Amino acid sequence: MLRFALGLHNILRWVVVVAAVWTLVRAYLGWLGDRPWTRQDSLAGRIFTISFDLQLLVGVFLVVISPLIQAAIQAPEHIGTSETVRFFAVEHVPVMIIAWILVHVTSVVAKRAEPDVKRHQRAAIGYSLAVIMVLLAIPWWRPIFPGL
């Protein structure tokens, strides 16, 4: 089960990254090009948010079943002895949760903004901050299919 969840989580990271790029391109083009907010802009933000939600859901499941995280929870004094445990317990999980919150807040703030250029601006800035956090917290050294 752990192997499947890790594989799914690793594949979903690319879904999140692709959705983020699409959303950011639309937001920046809308902001800098003074374009109207369209259904495609809403759809891009929604797909980014939903893909992030799915990623977080699988991530929470991994926190529950991962022996690495469970060891960190049971013996927090040993977190600093392993770079991998420290990364996942102290950096990855909290930063991704904050980025997830930021994506949801940005979604709401962008939808409520008027005029359309403000919607694009808020989406571009908020989603950019979230994406920077995500890119910093992704374990880039991990394979797409762990264990293969």
72-83 pLDDT, tens per residue? 888 888 787 888
- pLDDT score for 137: 94
Which tokens in the block code for residue 73? 């929870």
- pLDDT score for 144: 63
As a whole number of angstroms, the distance between CA 131 and CA 121 comes to: 15
As a whole number of angstroms, the distance between CA 101 and CA 53 comes to: 10
- Phi, psi (5° rounding) for residue 65? -100, -10
Reported as a single tens digit per residue, the pLDDT across 88-111 is 888 999 999 999 999 999 999 999
Please check the confidence at residue 148 and state whether its pLDDT lies above 80: no
Q: What is the pTM of this model?
A: 0.89
Contact 142, 125 (CB under 8 A): no
How far is C-alpha 106 from the chain's CA centre?
13
Peptide bond into 115 cis (omega under 30): yes
- pLDDT score for 78: 75
Which tokens in the block code for residue 78? 């040993």
As a whole number of angstroms, the distance between CA 15 and CA 8 comes to: 11
